[in-house]
Amino acid sequence: MKKHDNLITYAVVIAAYAVFQILAATGNLSSHMKGLLVPMTYYAVIAVALNLCVGILGELSIGHCGFMCIGAFTSAFFSKLTEESLPGPLRFFLAFVIGIAFAALFGFLIGIPVLRLKGDYLAIVTLAFGEIIKNVINAFYIGVDSKGFHFSLKNSMELGMEKEGNLIVNGAMGITGTPHDSNFTVAIVVLLISLFVVLNLVKSRDGRAIMAVRDNNIAAEATGINVTRYKMMAFVISAAIAGAAGVLFSHNITTLTASSQYFGFNASIMILVYVVLGGIGNIRGSVIAACVLYLLPELLRGLNTYRMLIYSIVLIVMMIVNWSPKVIEWRKRVTSSLRRA
Amino acid sequence: MSFLTYLISGLSLGSIYAIIALGYTMVYGIAKMLNFAHGDFIMVGCYIIFSVSGALAGNSLVGIVVAIILCTLLGITTEFVAYRPLRGAASPLAVLITAIGVSYFLENVALLIFGADIKSFTSVIKWEGLTFADGQLRIQGVTIVTILVSLLVLLVLQTFIKRTKQGQAMLAVAEDKGAAALMGINVNQTIMLTFAIGSALAAIAGALLCSAYPSLSPYTGAMPGIKAFVAAVLGGIGSIPGAMIGGLLLGIVEILSKTYISSQLSDAIVFGILVIVLLVRPTGILGKVIQEKV
């Protein structure tokens, strides 16, 4: 990695931020596009998190939206609870602390069994945990009244709350009316902080240890690297960043539900697509791919029913062009013959 | 008595998972790739049966045959167009993402042709079923047929792999592609045959799935596909009897937990079992333990 590579990454993000802000200020951005900016950014954040897990640590996770889900629900729960008692900026900051802390905690707990497995088995267990998180949250009913918290796994009547009690988590209906604290600026700041954390981690002693574990864990262990510790470190940081994306998510949406559309395995796979197309292990690539691929189906909206079809064909063709050994060889031959000519 | 009824319906659902899982596990064992589009082959099979039986005024047998043939062709084409160019790519994730692309593609083609509304599928099995113990225990025809078909499929596949040259070639390719090629086995052709068998099984599973749960949409195949994949991993991916055991276990657990614990949490329980089994046996129930060498 070159010396100024990281600075270029930050510069790209800030430049993109400036461009979108200028477009918005001069009225060149439709309200539909404006609404896409925050989602685009939190998908970039979670793509960075997943790339840390898949690219730097080398373990395929297809349940990362589960961590996002935990960050989203714990922070939204906190924000709903303290909506009247705390000032906005402080509350939002604490929501981040809580969302990130819980996502990291679950990253640690899930990491204990998951990181003992290998390859595709590891992948399927992360998928399983992602689905378990989503399903369990869908069954939660939590309310609060003057007597304290009430909790149920059946339905809201089981809570036995007082009339003026506040039903916060309503099972599959989720959390409604989380304060709308996220905006594009906060989202970009979160993205820059996660980039800072991941890019510096990669360059540090710990990061080199993590990559050594990825490249050959037996050799790494033989040179005295604590394999479990570094695997866990990367996994927990990755989960924490995914949690931060979840906080942005939940404070940008009126009704937060643990639906498959946002937190199911399909959503996790969509983020994996960003990571792979951006380049496995290439953090800047993840950010760019997440933004472009998130906006692509939206920009194709004019084509209406054909847009996802076109998206899927683009995906297949891009993978074959980028990765097929025969196509790579052919491209090399073409470029070398062009150079000779 | 009601427990027995639920157990049998669990067996039936498990048999469907098992048939899908057999396709998954064969393709994984040989091509070493997760074919995420496998679940969508089921959906394609269902739509073909739906359209053909509709056109022929309810003649579902022809529908099934056409579906099996077309799904087989679809599997071969997909393998040739989308997966084969990526064999030997630098990252195994490349072909995984392509499979996801194929899955999106099939779902959206179905969406364009048939629309998003749920079609009600007429069961391909007209038989009413059996009644035992003075009507206290009723087993539906589709349940019995599903269980029998899955046993038959397992038997045929086992015989095919153990007794025929092509089957032996599959085992060889699964073990070591390079060495198999040196022994004169046509690796590409063997992988193609595997995809053909897997896709044909998906069509059969589709017919049974939609007969038991008669609602058909472009996303019908996704969840059963992923559950079957879980079943394949549970049984030890690459192992044919393992896929059967995994599928049956998953189906029974799902139905019983839906009935006795919570329908809301049944998926969480199913996935929880997977986690527990893999913690005790990291390569699944019947999976081979491969020693890592330095």
Determine the pLDDT at residue B41: 94
Question: A108 and chain B: CB distance < 8 Å anywhere?
Answer: no
Give chain A's domains with CATH numbers: 5-27+37-340 (1.10.3470)
B49, B165 Cβ separation under 8 angstroms: no
> pLDDT tens digits for B2-19?
888 889 889 999 999 999
Residues of B in contact with A312 (CB under 8 A): 101-102, 104-105, 108
Could you tell me the pLDDT band of residue A297, with boundaries at 50, 70 and 90?
A: confident
Beta bridge partners of A144: A149, A166
State the Cα–Cα distance between residues A299 and B292, nearest whole angstrom: 48
**Tokens at B96, concatenated:** 């995984």
**Nearest Cα to Cα of residue A67 among A27, A110, A33, A24:** A110
> pLDDT tens digits for A32-69?
888 889 999 999 999 999 999 999 998 889 889 999 99
Question: B219 and chain A: CB distance < 8 Å anywhere?
Answer: no
Determine the pLDDT at residue B18: 94
Task: Tell whether the model's pLDDT for residue A209 goes beyond 80.
Answer: yes
Determine the pLDDT at residue B288: 75
Beta bridge partners of A169: A142
Beta bridge partners of A176: A255
Determine the pLDDT at residue A341: 72
Determine the pLDDT at residue B175: 87
State the average pLDDT over residues A169-174: 82
State if pTM tops 0.80.
yes
**Nearest Cα to Cα of residue B140 among B148, B150, B131:** B131
Question: Counting every residue, how long is chain A?
Answer: 341
**Tokens at A287, concatenated:** 């950010």
Residue to test with chain A: of B27, B97, B290, B293, most A Cβ within 10 A: B97
The amino acid that residue B12 corresponds to is: S
Q: Are residues B34 and A120, on separate chains, in Cβ contact within 8 Å? A: yes
Beta bridge partners of A149: A144
Question: B113 and chain A: CB distance < 8 Å anywhere?
Answer: no
**Nearest Cα to Cα of residue B140 among B150, B126, B132, B130:** B130
**Nearest Cα to Cα of residue B11 among B253, B240, B226:** B253
Task: Tell whether the model's pLDDT for residue A203 goes beyond 60.
Answer: yes
**Nearest Cα to Cα of residue B279 among A66, A127, A117:** A117
State the Cα–Cα distance between residues B243 and B236, nearest whole angstrom: 7
Determine the pLDDT at residue B59: 74
Three-state secondary structure of B176-242: CHHHHHHCCCCHHHHHHHHHHHHHHHHHHHHHHHHHHCCEECCCCCHHHHHHHHHHHHHHCCCCHHH
Determine the pLDDT at residue B238: 81
ipTM for the complex? 0.86
Q: The sheet that has A166-170: what strands, in order across it?
A: A148-152, A141-145, A166-170
Could you tell me the pLDDT band of residue B118, with boundaries at 50, 70 and 90?
A: confident
Question: A131 and chain B: CB distance < 8 Å anywhere?
Answer: yes
A79, A86 Cβ separation under 8 angstroms: no
Task: Tell whether the model's pLDDT for residue B68 goes beyond 90.
Answer: yes
> pLDDT tens digits for B144-163?
899 999 999 999 999 999 99
Could you tell me the pLDDT band of residue B291, with boundaries at 50, 70 and 90?
A: low
A66, A134 Cβ separation under 8 angstroms: yes
Longest dimension (CA), chain A: 83
Task: Tell whether the model's pLDDT for residue B58 goes beyond 70.
Answer: no
Q: Are residues A139 and B262, on separate chains, in Cβ contact within 8 Å? A: yes
Nearest C-alpha in B relative to A139: B264
Most confidently modeled range among A26-30, A228-232, B59-63: A228-232
Q: What percent of chain A has pLDDT over 90?
A: 45
Determine the pLDDT at residue B292: 63
A133, A280 Cβ separation under 8 angstroms: no
Three-state secondary structure of A141-192: EEEEECCEEEEECCCHHHHCCCCCCEEEEEHHHCEECCCCCCCHHHHHHHHH
> pLDDT tens digits for B182-220?
999 999 999 999 999 999 999 999 999 988 888 888 888
State the average pLDDT over residues B256-274: 87
State the Cα–Cα distance between residues A159 and B221, nearest whole angstrom: 37
Residue A29 or residue A290, greater confidence: A290
**Tokens at A180, concatenated:** 């709308």
Other CB atoms closer than 10 Å to residue A119's CB: what's the count? 11
Task: Tell whether the model's pLDDT for residue B54 goes beyond 90.
Answer: no
Bridge-based pairing of strands A141-145 and A166-170 is antiparallel
State the average pLDDT over residues A71-93: 89
Other CB atoms closer than 10 Å to residue A61's CB: what's the count? 31
Question: B86 and chain A: CB distance < 8 Å anywhere?
Answer: yes
